[in-house]
Amino acid sequence: MVKEKQEEVLNSQKDNQFPSFGLDFIAPILRNLKNHLFTRLISHSFFWHFILLFIIFLLPLLFHYFDYSILSKDSQNFFENTLILTSYDSYFYAKGVKEFLETFNLSLPYLSILGGILTKIFGLENTLVWSSVILSASFGVVLYFLIFAVLEYLGILTKKTNQIFAFLGAILGVLSPHFYQRNGAGYFDTDMLILSLPLLAVICLWQYLVKRQFYFLVFFSLATFLSVGWHNGIQNLLLVGFLLYVGYELFNILFFKQAKSPILVISSLFLIVLSPSPYSFFVLLLALIALYFERLKISLVVFCLACGYAYFFGLFNPMIAQLKAYLFGEIQYSKAFIYASVVESILETSKANFAILMQRSGGVGLFFLGLIGFVGFGFYYSLVRKNFIYLCIFLFPFLLLGFATLKLGVRFSFFLSPILALGCVLLVVGFLGIIQRFLKIILLVFAGIVAMWIANLEYEIPKPILKAQEIEAFKALPFGLNDIVFVWWDYGYALEYFTQAQTLLHGGRHSGIVNYPIAEILLNHSEILGKNLSLLLAQKMQEIPKSQWNRIFEIILKQEKETPQAFLGKLALNDFRINYYFKGEVYWILPKRMLFLAANINGFRNVDLESGKRIKEGVFLYEKTNSKTKEEYVLFKDFYLKKIQNGTLDAKLIFKNIQFVMDFDYLKSNLIQWLVFRNNPMMNLVFENESILVYQIPKE
């Protein structure tokens, strides 16, 4: 009996073990792993991290769903039961998704590749609509870890309190209007991860500087590589931080005779990953392997090679190009002529003022409290905690770029999101460090302020860039691969996405050089010139590679050996003849909303290409006549209103319940004649609905 009981106990113990399947050595490993996971899951700290991160991730999704329900009330916002995308560039990346699914091309933009992978899993259209909402929520998660890491490093409060403050700060950042409204449903653009990736790189680098654990350096390198690949503009953001870091360490070497961080190692990685080279990943991998051994001679050799690599591939070229475009971009030079720049013609790159900046930041209170907290307490903690200054150095470019909104345009204001959120937390926690006995009261007050701020948020919902009727027009005609379709740049990417046709203008080929001939066709008074120049451009598009389309008008002028004005004059003559030889058909698509773009279009045409000076002043105003309160939209200078009041402008047009006031040149332009009066004897009107007109150009 004793022996039988012993065998029974032994069998019972075996039943409770993991099955070995002949691999007995795995059982203790699995058992330890099971116990470790169970311990982590029941860990109070881990549990609260999970709950708070889940709320941070879920809250913006709920808000965006409410916004989506508002858009769903208008059927024109949907095509084939799917929300129309809400930014012009969205259809560029959406077209890339289609190409990736067809060809598995890994040279496409990262967003198109990511969209293709998600689409393969979840289906096409709805994935593109909702991916921005889901992926942009990662910013709140990254911001939570940033603030929590800062609070843990400062060591002022308990871990649980740090979690709560990190949670409140992340909510402030992810729901701030300038970030939130750029990532709504249908906003399939790089903005969804444009803050998450570089912030993740900054966190990893700072953690390496604090803890000196090599794997943080690996994570930093990978996050930086992904950041630059995701959007090349991030290269400039990180490059400025790198330059500030080098300046700080050189100051330490000059005055304190030593660097306070491994400057050679960090500089080498920055130089490699920020250089615009297709080989950066492999060079970066080799550098990490070499630097792992932490030998001074090896670090010095890697640094010298990295300097040569950065010089050869032009480390500063992207920054120089951006400075030329945004700071000195009122005019655009080519080898032969001077054109108007696109910078002032795009709403997102138009200059803003402090009132707009504060409104987009979530209000005056959040703006100033966050700014005071980041600058004031950031400076204080940089003095008392030696490694905190590195975090401030690498975050300072975010602050600079956010304030660059005042010069570069409103699109950059959302770079203030992490700065203001972290600043608010630093401000509150900084005071708590002085008077900790009021912890619970201040924490409740701060939570109440965040709740009231959320309840009073003001933002604009990103709306679809097209109407369903406009897309129906795109798909109504059987555009073929050899067909050329002319349309203003706003509609270029969408047209290429919904059809097989080729178009000259879109968001990626939107510059003064290529906009000029299209603007000339639309606002010239000669329908003969409109036809001849359209056919000439279409023919040249089939003769030269796409890489040269930006210079297409200059190529034509060089071949004709004419000045711009002389050549345009010849195109307007009845006896102008050219032998057109190309496959396919040529079309003009005129959305009726283009009437509101007339002054914008004129900005590219109304310039002397040889001197760069404006040819003449013009005016184009429009107002809603069916609204209870009068709304005016002045697109040029205010003094033109006096001309209207004095009766010196005699051209008025009422179209679709909107009154347009313009000088006579606008009224006689091809755009107005073709779009409003259907007066286009040189082309055939082949399609029309309430939103769009399509003309076909005869080739004879």
Tens digits of per-residue pLDDT, 292-323? 887 888 889 999 999 999 999 988 887 777 76
DSSP string covering 629-667, please? S-EEEE-S-TTHHHHHHTT---EEEEETTEEEEE-HHHH
Q: What is the mean pLDDT of residues 652-668?
A: 68
Q: What is the mean pLDDT of residues 394-423?
A: 90
pLDDT at 33 over 70: no
pLDDT at 644 over 90: no
**Are the CB atoms for 454 and 175 separated by under 8 Å?**
yes
Lowest mean pLDDT among 35-39, 69-73, 348-352, 494-498: 35-39
Q: What is the pLDDT of the chain when averaged over all its residues?
A: 82
Contacts of 19 (CB under 8 A, 6+ apart): none
Per-residue confidence at 529, pLDDT binned at 50, 70, 90? very high
Which pTM value belongs to this model? 0.83
**pLDDT score recorded for residue 625:** 45
Please report, rounded to a whole number, the percentage of residues in the chain having pLDDT higher than 90: 39
Per-residue confidence at 31, pLDDT binned at 50, 70, 90? low
pLDDT at 609 over 50: yes
- Extended strands (E) in 304-410: 331-333, 338-340
User: For the range 78-82, what are the long-range contacts, defined as Cβ-Cβ under 8 Å and sequence gap of 24 or more?
Assistant: 78/468, 79/466, 79/468, 79/471, 79/472, 80/125, 82/125, 82/126, 82/129
Nearest to 341 by CA among 141, 137, 512: 512
DSSP tally for the chain: helices H, then strands E? 33, 12
Please report, rounded to a whole number, the percentage of residues in the chain having pLDDT higher than 70: 83
Q: What is the mean pLDDT of residues 498-511?
A: 86
Give the DSSP letter of residue 257.
Answer: S
Q: What is the mean pLDDT of residues 141-149?
A: 96
Q: What is the mean pLDDT of residues 194-205?
A: 96
User: For the range 611-618, what are the long-range contacts, defined as Cβ-Cβ under 8 Å and sequence gap of 24 or more?
Assistant: 611/338, 612/331, 612/338, 612/339, 618/663, 618/665, 618/666
**pLDDT score recorded for residue 38:** 42
pLDDT at 489 over 50: yes
Tens digits of per-residue pLDDT, 345-363? 665 656 677 888 888 888 8
Nearest to 177 by CA among 356, 15, 315, 375: 356
Six-digit token string for 146? 């940033």
Residue 648 dihedral angles phi and psi, to the nearest 5°: -85, -10
By three-state DSSP, how is residue 262 classified? coil
As a whole number of angstroms, the distance between CA 685 and CA 335 comes to 38
Tens digits of per-residue pLDDT, 582-598? 788 999 999 988 888 88
* More reliable by pLDDT, 271 or 23: 271
Per-residue confidence at 156, pLDDT binned at 50, 70, 90? confident
Tell me the three-class secondary structure of 288-329, residue by residue: HHHHCCCCHHHHHHHHHHHHHHHHHHCCCHHHHHHHHHHCCC
Distance of alpha carbon 142 from its chain centroid, rounded? 18
* More reliable by pLDDT, 371 or 610: 371
As a whole number of angstroms, the distance between CA 230 and CA 135 comes to 13
**pLDDT score recorded for residue 266:** 95
**pLDDT score recorded for residue 259:** 84
pLDDT at 189 over 70: yes
Tens digits of per-residue pLDDT, 101-127? 988 888 899 999 999 999 988 876 688
**pLDDT score recorded for residue 421:** 95
DSSP string covering 678-699, please? ---TTSEEEEE-SSEEEEE---
- Extended strands (E) in 342-493: 484-486
Q: Which residue has the tokens 């990346």?
A: 93
